[in-house]
Chain A
Amino acid sequence: MLSVMVALAGFTTAQAQSKTVSGKVSDDTGSLLPGVNVLEKGTSNGTVTDANGNFRLSIASDESVLVFSFVGMVSQQVTVGAKSEIEVALVSDASTLSEVVVVGYGDQNKADVTGAVAQITSENFRQGVNTSADNLIQGKIAGVRVVNSSGEPGAGMDVVIRGIGSIRSGSTPLFVVDGVPLSNDNSSPVGGSVGFGSSNASNPLNFLNTSDIESINVLKDASAAAIYGARGANGVVIITTKRGTKGKGTLTFDNYVGVSTVAKKMNLLSADQYRDTIKDKNFDHGGNTDWQDVIFRNGVTNNQALAFAKQTNSGDYYVSLGHMDQQGIVGNSGFSRYSARLNASESFFDDERLKIGVHLTASETKERAVPTSDDGGSNGQLITQTLMANPTYPVFDQDGNYTNFKANAYYNPAYLLSIYDDVAHTTRVLGNIETSFRIVKGLQYKFNAGVDRSIGKRDATLYPNLTDINPTGRYTQINIESTNTLLEHYLTYNIVVERHRFDALAGFSYQKFDRSGSTWGLSGIAAQDKGVPPKYNPGYQGTLLPATGYSQANELQSAFGRVNYSFNDKYMVTASMRADGSTRFGDNNKYGYFPSFAAGWNISREDFLSSTKWISNAKLRASWGQTGNQDVPNKITQASYALSGGDGYYLYNNLNLVNGLTITRTVNPNLKWEVSTQYNFGLDFSLLDDRLYGTVDYFNKTTTDAILFIPSPVLSPTSNVWVNIDGKIVNTGVELSLGYHILRGSKFTWSVDANGATLHNEVKDLPVSEIYSGIVSGTGLTDVWANVYKSGYAVGSFYLLKSDGLDENGAEKFVDKDGDGLITNADRYVIQGALPKFSYGINSQMKYGPFDLSLSFIGQTGGYLINNTAVGVINVNNLNSDRNTSVENANSGAAITNPPRLSTRYLESSDFFRLNSARLGYTFRHPSVSWLDNANIYVTGQNIFTITNYSGFDPLINSPKALSGNQSLGIDYPRYPTARTFTVGLSLKF
């Protein structure tokens, strides 16, 4: 407040005028610049250049200094002296504050942005093999956590922006690709269980070729995200693909080959160690096998990308083709993708009055899956079977056949792999056309229509086998189809009147999501290598299993508007509003309204700072806004009855099944979106001649009206009901990003940037005592849940017995909290910490002549994981039941007769520090080879080393272990281990 008064005081110090100067302002190419601010330094006396770049201003004296400033240009100061005509050429500002960032329905100069928006452009993306766009920003943006759900090629990622604001609806942000908001639903089918797990959902963003991406912008606060209304509560990620650039056309060809290995093997007992440890000699089967070596392999990745692009006088185009073939590090698994993209735009009529742009991409992805789902039931899945397998079993018997472990739930993992074949094909086409028409100067009408369509099919075959899991074999075909259509009209208006700049946006949007699918299958199929595999001809042999299917649609209809106003490039305000109507909401709450307000103050442009040499730029921001979350299933507000055999009865003495009538949903007219209300205070700065730059933000994000599926009042027709509950989830944190140009020479440049975010999360005033989540899997662990949502504690709190070490016999002891002499569930403690308190990234870019080296580190502290592998898979009591355990467990002193029991014994710190990616490149460029612009040869590494005490595969993991749809946090179930990958590549640019 005080500083505002100081600033206002600055305005009033007017001086007597005695001289008039006039002149012209142009940019570095000679084009004349209208709208440039011209200010007599130290006064409020100033003007703006006219349409031809001319200005005229009365000044105090020859000693007066004129300050010329313009968005995206470096400000210039000129002492008037004796001159009365002054010509100035402003040069483009290369510092970060001059970037154009992409916001919803438009773009903005970073200097004018009032919300918390972060941008990463292609040169700063994470290096190496990246199958999906969310990989590219891992560790790059403060407050954005990108966490693996599995190490499988093409696996889904958890992208979490500013903490967890929802219990049920997930925390995935809205992804917008070239103006088309995507659905977060799976585009490729999830596999059904084959008895030892199922195949995982793959990342719906896999369809985008990552080398087509130009920039990724993350809208973090409500001011930025509110324009996306009911889908903005988890933040918005805007992906912009490449277009042709100025100059001659470019042709680039990029090719790399990579090798992946498992980043960390579990330290299990070897066959010899096992023999020495076991008491029961029946468990020695005479062999010597490292099952991890049998199942894990070196995976080779091949990637080719070809692109050509050009900007013409009136338009531009970008065309690319891509192919990626990635072998997984678990035998038989893999991911491949063919993709093509065409981005083109052209202008028509006078002064480019009509612009038409097209973005079109098509891709075909193929995932070869292995059963490594988050829970395989009591039989586990391939990875748990691999870890548990007795190392003294040989892989093959004397006849060359796979050995059979002969006990239920004990399988030869190599055999399991050999009898399983699972391939999913997904074809996805995303295209949109954007038209803009200038109605009058400053007023544009824009039209955006898009279609995103995908078709996926999974053929999963478990061949007839010698295990007790579907011994007659099973074939499942799962089909999925989705279409997302978008229609948007909007008007933009911008006008500059002297020092007032005004931008307005008003629009209408309609989006429809259609989704359907079917599943059917066979049992009793032909044996492997005998007859025709069912995926080629399901009619060849087998008995049809019951089919299921669904077809759903949901629609969003919205009106939105935004106003930006800035005065003198110093004071900016933004207000926006979106009214979102959704078919998912109840009749009484069809439309939600999501307002936001923000203000910015370019404090460095104030007189009292403009002479401060070491400050190049400084801007304060404040915002408030509301966003929504509508990520709930369709149809939940509609009453429904179902007639099903499963709820029926053999009512008459013919014992025929009479289908039963059950009420599956009651009408729910009041259901509405979750509301997220967020405050944000930020500072952007650039100091020491732009050498040091950064951003600090504080946010407070509070979710109310959370949507939950909770028990309904007793004697309701349905046992659970969807409601908006009272209570809050509060996320607060500070985000800092800081960059420093250590060297800026012509030959040697080196910059380092770091980002970090703190997070504090608390659930408040829940109307129910507690909500459980976090399924812990393994035998003897049915209905054991690790997470609890409880008032006064963070989401992702754990609810555990406290381990009190071992007694003299090696039996586990626990703290008897209630002192009743018994260890029961009443002795559990709430322990916070699935969400790390601090996560950070450090990036270094170095260029020395033709060499470039970039390093990217990530880390986190203050978080914990439940090591489900240790409690449920390689528990020490495996030594007493013909299975393997870890060296650590075997030497822990724990009695091998201990039953598995979840406690803090299996809670481990997830702190780590990792060299996440690195790249070393050499660029060849020589005038004598005129046909080649340049050639770049490079090596990259991913996941190169990790410093951690965590004993599982990877501390950066979040296995999806939701209970009844309530999301889990901080559980590590051994799905597919994380890979370490090195690539060698060659990139040619013509």
Chain B
Amino acid sequence: MNIKNIFKSKSTQIVAATLFLSFSACTNLEEQVHDEVLGGGSITAESALAAAYDRLGDATFTDNSGMIAMQEYSSDIALLATRGSDWGDGGKWREMHEFTWTSNSLLLNDNWGRLTNGIARSLSAISVVTNSTDANKNIFLAEAQGLYAFYAFNTIDLFNQTPYRDPLKTPDPLNTNEVAEMKQAPEVIDELITLVESIIPNLASLGDNSTHTGRFTKQAAYALLADMYLNRAVCKDRFNASSSFAFTEASLTTGQSDMDRVIYYTSLLINDSKFQLAKNYFSNFDINNSGAPEHIFAIIQKIDAFRAGDNDLGYVNVERNQRPSPANRGTNAACMTTEFFHSWDGNQDDPRFSRKYQYSDGTWFMNDGTDVSVPASDVVAGTTQPWFHFNRGIIYGQQYGPVLDASGKFVMTNGRIAVKSLVIEKNTSTPMNFTPDLVFDNPLVSVLTTNQLNRGARIFKFEFDPAGVSGPDNGVSGVDIPLYRLGGIYTMRAEAYFRKGDVTSALADINMLRTTRTREALYANAPGKPIASLDKDILYKELGFELYWEMKRRPQMIRFGKFDLPFTAKAVSLPFRRAYPIPQSAIDVNKQIVQNDGY
């Protein structure tokens, strides 16, 4: 058969046609995944619980855009003004302080997402732990439920409602085929209290079972319960026009009022020998504050390549020309309100107001123009960069510190870091004089022009951690962030005594905070001074002294009826602003959400 005939033959054509058809459907289109392991082979109880904890630290309570913005920038303590070309950012910072936020505000959207993700991760952990055989199963389950309560409580504090799935439901509390129900604060607060009270027997006591202050232990539960009872009356009736909240209403425990329960839980902590008030108040916020004796529940931060902590709480008040090392700088963002600065008038010698730094050779950094130099012997961890230590606390007036030479190194004198008078980095003719009296060209618009970049006293409460994974880094930190600390527990008990009418006990707690703390050696380690009397306004002021820049202020303001009042760059506001709106983007995809009144 010649070749022409082969091609002409019918059989060849049939074979060709068959071949053609046989190529059809050569794949079933199952997607091949090479670069990740799908499915649940690697799920463990501890990994699910770790993710639920991660959400606390993953910006939520550690970043300037998180609870600092929600609880401090919206308060009479701090604000992030637009500073020249910096921090305008479409108005997202200013609106938090000027009370012009809307359901489209970015920070509200971010934090709604973070907190509800925290709830979802907690539910996921509950689900995974329930189905696990981990030796710590009971403890982990209780912790996941505790975290659920913590996230949900913060959600109702901010938004007055929370998405809800039953954390006790088995087998799967995170059944995503069901639409999540929305529950309002008055209902949820009691459910959360009941839940947390029920899990206490299963929780570890701090230090047992390899736990540390970064875990939700029995002690963390006591603190959260105290907090929830302290705010229960607000949750029940957040918007009442006169801010008259029924703090002494009956609690969920027969025969006890909400305030009795606050006193009960705070006393458990105050009487617990694990915790002591620090003499050096700022040691609670140092780089090496892990396990600090005041810490009850904290976010553990470390500097590592995989999950570095966030330096924002130490960084955002620092001016750009304030350099902890030649390779570090501040960012000239947040500052303190005029009102809060002056609330310290007559109390500036309180150990909590500020603390000067003493170098190991005895040199004090005075920051008053008398400094010549400080030793260059401290270096940033993991580098050879000299480390300059700024003072702590509330910083104002003309600032001094190291400056760079042309090659980017600190200017030195006799082998030591020279201390010079500083100027504003972006406007070098403006001295770095932090003026406590904030003056805005338009009093209700917190915009500072480029020749006003120096304005506002600064909060250097948390230590600026200059280290990084590979060389100095402004962004990461090893400072643990306390969520509940003994000082704050005292303020809760004082407030509860006060609201019960027991002013003597309240004053005693306040004075305990004042007099236990001592000043630095430069001032002969002088303890703080007690006060003689207490009224509502003094108590409110004292809460600020103890807890400023710790993300507690907005709820304090609401409890004390201060939230609607005008202050720096903020006009009188209406009660509906005591809760934030639910972000529009969430309402768009969750038709069951009803927007809060007023928005």
Task: Give 13 pairs: A residue, B residue, CB < 8 Å, sorted on A.
Answer: A404-B407, A404-B408, A439-B13, A508-B23, A557-B25, A634-B31, A646-B54, A658-B47, A714-B163, A769-B588, A782-B90, A782-B92, A877-B449
Task: Contact check, B588 vs A784: say whether CB atoms are below 8 A apart.
Answer: no
Task: Contact check, A639 vs B38: say whether CB atoms are below 8 A apart.
Answer: yes
- Encoded as 1 (CB less than 8 Å from any A CB) or 0, chain B from 106 to 117 comes to 100000010011
**Smallest CB separation, A579 vs chain B (Å):** 11
**Known contacts A508-B23, A638-B38; A661 and B306 CB within 8 A of each other:** no
Task: Contact check, A715 vs B174: say whether CB atoms are below 8 A apart.
Answer: yes
Give the distance in Å from the alpha carbon of A647 to the alpha carbon of B51 in the complex: 5
List, in ascending order, chain A residues with CB within 8 A of B87's CB. Answer: 780
Question: Is the C-beta of B352 less than 8 angstroms from some C-beta in chain A?
Answer: no
**Smallest CB separation, B154 vs chain A (Å):** 15
Task: Contact check, B85 vs A768: say whether CB atoms are below 8 A apart.
Answer: no
List, in ascending order, chain B residues with CB within 8 A of A468's CB. Answer: 327, 329, 408
Looking at the complex, which one of A660, A784, A896 makes contact with B90 (CB distance below 8 Å)? A784
Task: Contact check, B471 vs A472: say whether CB atoms are below 8 A apart.
Answer: yes
Give the distance in Å from the alpha carbon of A467 to the alpha carbon of B44 in the complex: 45
- Encoded as 1 (CB less than 8 Å from any B CB) or 0, chain A from 625 to 646 comes to 0000000001101111111111
Give the distance in Å from the alpha carbon of A877 to the alpha carbon of B449 in the complex: 9
Task: Contact check, B31 vs A583: say whether CB atoms are below 8 A apart.
Answer: yes
Task: Contact check, A713 vs B54: say whether CB atoms are below 8 A apart.
Answer: no
List, in ascending order, chain B residues with CB within 8 A of A472's CB. Answer: 470-471
Task: Contact check, A881 vs B307: say whether CB atoms are below 8 A apart.
Answer: no
Task: Contact check, B176 vs A716: say whether CB atoms are below 8 A apart.
Answer: yes
Question: Is the C-beta of B577 less than 8 angstroms from some C-beta in chain A?
Answer: no
Looking at the complex, which one of A545, A557, A768, A778 makes contact with B589 (CB distance below 8 Å)? A768
Looking at the complex, which one of B39, B44, B214 makes contact with A649 (CB distance below 8 Å)? B214
Stretch at the interface among B121-129, B253-261, B541-549: B121-129
Range of interface residues on chain B? 35 or more
Question: Is the C-beta of B520 less than 8 angstroms from some C-beta in chain A?
Answer: no
Task: With A581-B29, A712-B589 given, name 18 new contacts (CB 8 A).
Answer: A280-B427, A468-B327, A546-B306, A555-B29, A635-B36, A649-B300, A653-B210, A711-B589, A714-B116, A769-B588, A780-B84, A780-B89, A822-B444, A824-B91, A825-B90, A825-B91, A825-B102, A877-B449
**Known contacts A651-B50, A661-B50, A899-B82; A717 and B102 CB within 8 A of each other:** no
**Known contacts A716-B176, A898-B449; A552 and B426 CB within 8 A of each other:** no
Please give me the residue from chain B that is nearest to A523 by CB atom. B470
The A-contacting residues of B in range 555-598, CB under 8 angstroms, are 584-586, 588-590, 593
Task: Contact check, A901 vs B88: say whether CB atoms are below 8 A apart.
Answer: yes
- Can you list the 5 inter-chain pairs with the closest CB atoms, starting with the nearest? A645-B306, A897-B449, A660-B51, A880-B450, A780-B88
Task: Contact check, A554 vs B120: say whether CB atoms are below 8 A apart.
Answer: no
Please give me the residue from chain B that is nearest to A281 by CB atom. B429
**Known contacts A404-B406, A508-B24, A557-B29; A652 and B470 CB within 8 A of each other:** no
Give the distance in Å from the alpha carbon of A832 to the alpha carbon of B207 in the complex: 61
Give the distance in Å from the alpha carbon of A713 to the alpha carbon of B53 in the complex: 22
Task: Contact check, A648 vs B38: say whether CB atoms are below 8 A apart.
Answer: no
**Smallest CB separation, B141 vs chain A (Å):** 15
Looking at the complex, which one of A404, A641, A716, A779 makes contact with B39 (CB distance below 8 Å)? A641
List, in ascending order, chain B residues with CB within 8 A of A652's CB. Answer: 210-212
**Known contacts A649-B50, A880-B450; A487 and B23 CB within 8 A of each other:** yes
Task: Contact check, B165 vs A715: say whether CB atoms are below 8 A apart.
Answer: yes
Task: Contact check, B586 vs A714: say whether CB atoms are below 8 A apart.
Answer: yes
Give the distance in Å from the alpha carbon of A644 to the alpha carbon of B302 in the complex: 16
**Smallest CB separation, A791 vs chain B (Å):** 12
Task: Contact check, A583 vs B30: say whether CB atoms are below 8 A apart.
Answer: yes
Question: Is the C-beta of A767 less than 8 angstroms from some C-beta in chain B?
Answer: yes
Give the distance in Å from the alpha carbon of A716 to the alpha carbon of B165 in the complex: 11
Interface residues of B (CB under 8 A from A): 3-4, 7, 13, 16, 20, 23-27, 29-36, 38-40, 42-44, 46-51, 53-54, 57-58, 82-92, 95, 98, 100, 102, 104-106, 113, 116-117, 119-121, 123-124, 128, 163, 165, 174, 176, 179-180, 207, 210-212, 214-215, 290, 300, 302, 304-307, 320, 327, 329, 404, 406-408, 425-429, 444-445, 447, 449-452, 470-471, 584-586, 588-590, 593
Question: Is the C-beta of A53 less than 8 angstroms from some C-beta in chain B?
Answer: no
**Smallest CB separation, A637 vs chain B (Å):** 7
Give the distance in Å from the alpha carbon of A479 to the alpha carbon of B470 in the complex: 23
**Known contacts A407-B425, A543-B470, A825-B104; A660 and B47 CB within 8 A of each other:** yes
Task: Contact check, A653 vs B212: say whether CB atoms are below 8 A apart.
Answer: yes
Please give me the residue from chain B that is nearest to A716 by CB atom. B176
Looking at the complex, which one of A470, A557, A895, A902 makes contact with B26 (CB distance below 8 Å)? A557
List, in ascending order, chain A residues with CB within 8 A of B307's CB. Answer: 645-649, 657
Question: Is the C-beta of A659 less than 8 angstroms from some C-beta in chain B?
Answer: yes
Task: Contact check, B470 vs A780: say whether CB atoms are below 8 A apart.
Answer: no
List, in ascending order, chain B residues with CB within 8 A of A880's CB. Answer: 84, 427, 449-451
Task: Contact check, B16 vs A717: say whether CB atoms are below 8 A apart.
Answer: no
Task: Contact check, B20 vs A660: say whether CB atoms are below 8 A apart.
Answer: no
List, in ascending order, chain A residues with CB within 8 A of B444's CB. Answer: 822
Give the distance in Å from the alpha carbon of A283 to the alpha carbon of B430 in the complex: 12
Task: Contact check, A559 vs B306: say whether CB atoms are below 8 A apart.
Answer: no
Please give me the residue from chain B that is nearest to A901 by CB atom. B88
List, in ascending order, chain B residues with CB within 8 A of A160's CB. Answer: none
Question: Is the C-beta of A353 less than 8 angstroms from some C-beta in chain B?
Answer: yes
